[in-house]
A = this chain, B = another copy of it.
């Protein structure tokens, strides 16, 4: 830390973080091997221990590095809630969410790491939830609530939010399955755009139907099966 003047500032450290991020995103924390990471980074295996102490330390550094820009992006987008329609805001939300999640570029690494943590939690799980999942979830909750028009219970709003993110995340979690079931589906910008259109339309219909069903349920006690027969 004494060397604060020169510009290289440990180039290896940076390359390690970038290489590790790619491996962690593609393979997950456990499947990614330290030797593979350093090979991709063109560094020696001791570098990870020197710079980060351990594999977990490297993972923490990856998260911290990508957290910075990700949080910055989140706070930026929080501003433009202007005079948009609730449906338009949902469309923005889903499109942004899907683009970050499914886009193949090394950009928006954080979104993919968050998705990884969801299905294969590590020590960073709590932090991820607090810093990314909760804020994103609250933003979606607010949008859904405005669409539902205060008529949905807290619980049903939650369910709708989970239905929306579940639709999106499935394309990331189960890429291999999607590739089998829908071989024509690609992950380019245009494909993601069209997918967003579908998810938004589907979810808007879903939210409105939930509102209707909920109203019906409220009167007819809890007999269920509103639209089933």
**Chain A interface (Cβ < 8 Å from any Cβ of B):** 30-31, 85, 87-88, 91, 118-119, 121, 125, 129, 133-134, 137, 155-156, 158-163, 165-171, 173-174, 176-178, 180-182, 184, 193, 195, 197-210, 212-213, 224-229
A14 → chain B closest CB, angstroms: 30
Q: Most chain-B Cβ atoms within 10 A of its Cβ — which of A155, A159, A202, A229? A: A202
Contact A224 B197, beta carbon cutoff 8 Å: yes
Also in contact, A171 and B166, with CB within 8 A (given A85-B228, A204-B227): yes
> What is the minimal beta-carbon distance from A49 to any residue of chain B, in angstroms?
24
Asked whether, in the complex, the Cβ of B213 is within 8 Å of the Cβ of A227, the reply is no
- Within the complex, the shortest CB–CB distance from A150 to chain B, in Å, comes to 18
> Chain copies in the assembly?
2
Chain B, residue nearest A92 (CB): B228
Task: List the B side residues contacting A212 at CB < 8 Å.
Answer: 205
* Pair B85/A229 contact, Cβ less than 8 Å: yes
> Contact check: which of B129, B165, B206, B224 meets A170 at CB < 8 Å?
B165
The complex places the Cα of A24 from the Cα of B79 at a distance, in Å, of 45
- A72–B200 Cα gap in the complex (Å)? 37
State in angstroms the CA–CA spacing of A166 and B173 once bound together: 10
The smallest C-beta distance from A123 to any residue of chain B, in angstroms, reads: 13
Alpha-carbon separation in the docked complex, A137 to B91 (Å) = 27
CA distance A207 to B197 in the complex (A): 13
Beta-carbon contact of B169 and A170 below 8 Å: yes
On whether the beta carbons of B228 and A176 are closer than 8 Å, the reply is no
Docked Cα-Cα span, A175 to B121, in Å, equals: 10
A159 x B225 contact (CB < 8 A): no
